[in-house]
């Protein structure tokens, strides 16, 4: 026997269950699509940031042990490097020949003030010809050799030919890549001192000692991706020059003699160095470094020849 129907008013929870049963599938699909869109958007944004960080030379992964990030390179509003010397000690150095300033000349031993002045002028010319003149940078040493006493030239030529010349001459390797930045000048800073001395042979001479730092800018592509100074080859030298007293030597022995030279190089290519030439060592982008490369040894005032980086 059929029971009579009894009306039952749905409760609030029953109405919600009924609606979920009707529309739950559609709602789940919509939520799923939304989650996919959010995930794709997040990946796209993350990928863009990854590419942008790589483009800017920023670290791509966290640094182990909480290492400090490399020193940033100053850039302009467009993100371009402000120059090869910016944020390095060489930024304050003089350009080209202006870097070589002789001291005041005074009478020293048998040498008159005029003779000391002439000797210092010869040393200055030798430094300029050997370190900053374009013809020496391009491999032509004739200007430098012309400054030396005739009797000293042959031995210096042999040093140039054997590659034992970086102590007094800066030549850029023919196939250096990158090449020297011709839009910039070599920069330098140093001191010149002198004293009267007597050689073992009894020849009196004015001994002039020069101590200089030279910074050579190379045309590194996208330098903003590298630490400050990454495009600089820095050379520090200590050279002793002799000027014999004119009465103690013959005509061919008069003038400037190269007595000894010691150097330290930083950021230079070792194979080129062994041949007596300068080239930029392979630069390492900022994102691969855990700390700035040291520059203190070659720039520090307490430096002595032989300190620092060598091959």
Residues 104-153 pLDDT 10s: 999 999 999 999 999 999 999 999 999 999 999 999 999 999 999 999 99
Q: Range of 29's domain?
A: 15-55
Q: Is it the case that residue 5 has pLDDT exceeding 70?
A: no
d(C-alpha 82, C-alpha 223), whole Å: 9
d(C-alpha 59, C-alpha 53), whole Å: 7
- Within a domain: 47: yes
- Within a domain: 78: no
- Examine the domain organization and report whether 37 and 94 are in the same domain: no
- Examine the domain organization and report whether 21 and 136 are in the same domain: no
**Whole-number average pLDDT of the chain:** 81
The pLDDT of residue 306 is 65
- Within a domain: 142: yes
- Examine the domain organization and report whether 38 and 105 are in the same domain: no
Q: Which of 39-53, 56-70, 81-95 has the highest mean pLDDT?
A: 81-95
- Examine the domain organization and report whether 253 and 107 are in the same domain: yes
HEC string of 224-238 equals HHCCCCCCEEEEEEE
User: Residue 235, CB half-sphere, CA atoms under 13 Å: how many?
Assistant: 31
- Examine the domain organization and report whether 99 and 35 are in the same domain: no
In terms of Cα–Cα distance, which of 105, 154, 115 is closest to 257? 154
The pLDDT of residue 26 is 53
- Within a domain: 269: yes
What confidence category does residue 78 fall into, taking pLDDT thresholds of 50, 70 and 90?
A: confident
Higher pLDDT, 77 or 61: 77
- Examine the domain organization and report whether 255 and 186 are in the same domain: yes
- Examine the domain organization and report whether 168 and 46 are in the same domain: no
pLDDT digits (tens, 9 = 90+) for 241-267: 999 999 999 999 999 999 999 999 999
Poorest-pLDDT segment among 71-80, 110-119, 285-294: 285-294
- Within a domain: 60: no
- Examine the domain organization and report whether 30 and 112 are in the same domain: no
What confidence category does residue 95 fall into, taking pLDDT thresholds of 50, 70 and 90?
A: very high
User: Residue 311, CB half-sphere, CA atoms under 13 Å: how many?
Assistant: 12
Higher pLDDT, 201 or 307: 201
Residue with tokens 């430098």: 144
- Examine the domain organization and report whether 229 and 116 are in the same domain: yes
Pairing of strands 232-244, 204-217: antiparallel
Poorest-pLDDT segment among 61-75, 92-106, 211-225: 61-75
Domain count of the fold of the chain: 2
Higher pLDDT, 276 or 76: 276
- Within a domain: 128: yes
- Examine the domain organization and report whether 33 and 116 are in the same domain: no
- Examine the domain organization and report whether 102 and 225 are in the same domain: yes
Global pTM reads 0.74
The pLDDT of residue 72 is 74
- Examine the domain organization and report whether 97 and 32 are in the same domain: no
- Within a domain: 276: yes
- Within a domain: 184: yes
Helix/strand/coil percent split, the chain, to 5:
35, 20, 40
């Amino acid at each position: 026997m059929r029971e009579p129907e009894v009306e039952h008013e749905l409760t609030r929870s029953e109405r919600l269950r009924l609606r979920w049963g009707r529309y739950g599938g559609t709602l789940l699909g919509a939520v799923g699509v939304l989650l996919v869109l959010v995930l794709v958007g997040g990946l796209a944004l993350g990928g863009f940031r990854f590419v942008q960080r790589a483009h800017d030379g920023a670290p791509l992964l966290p640094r182990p042990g909480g290492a400090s990030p490399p020193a940033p390179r100053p850039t302009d509003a467009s993100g371009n490097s402000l120059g090869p010397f910016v944020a390095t000690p060489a930024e304050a150095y003089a350009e080209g020949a202006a870097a070589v300033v002789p001291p005041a000349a005074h009478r020293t031993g048998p040498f008159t003030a005029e003779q000391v002045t002439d000797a210092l002028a010869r040393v200055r010319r030798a430094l300029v010809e050997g370190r900053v003149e374009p013809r020496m940078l391009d491999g032509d040493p004739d200007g430098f050799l012309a400054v030396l006493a005739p009797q000293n030239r042959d031995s210096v030529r042999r040093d140039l030919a054997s590659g034992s010349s970086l102590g007094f001459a800066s030549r850029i390797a023919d196939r250096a890549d990158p090449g020297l930045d011709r839009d910039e000048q070599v920069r330098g800073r140093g001191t010149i001192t002198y004293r009267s001395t007597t050689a073992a042979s009894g020849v009196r001479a004015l001994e002039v000692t020069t101590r200089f730092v030279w910074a050579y800018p190379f045309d590194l592509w996208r330098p903003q991706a590298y630490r400050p100074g990454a495009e600089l080859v820095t050379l520090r030298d200590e050279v002793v020059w002799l000027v014999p007293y004119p009465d103690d030597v013959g005509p061919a022995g008069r003038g400037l003699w190269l007595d000894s030279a010691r150097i330290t190089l930083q950021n230079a290519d070792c194979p080129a160095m062994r041949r007596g030439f300068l080239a930029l060592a392979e630069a390492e982008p900022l994102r691969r470094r855990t700390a700035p490369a040291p520059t203190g040894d070659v720039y520090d005032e307490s430096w002595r020849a032989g300190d620092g980086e060598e091959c």
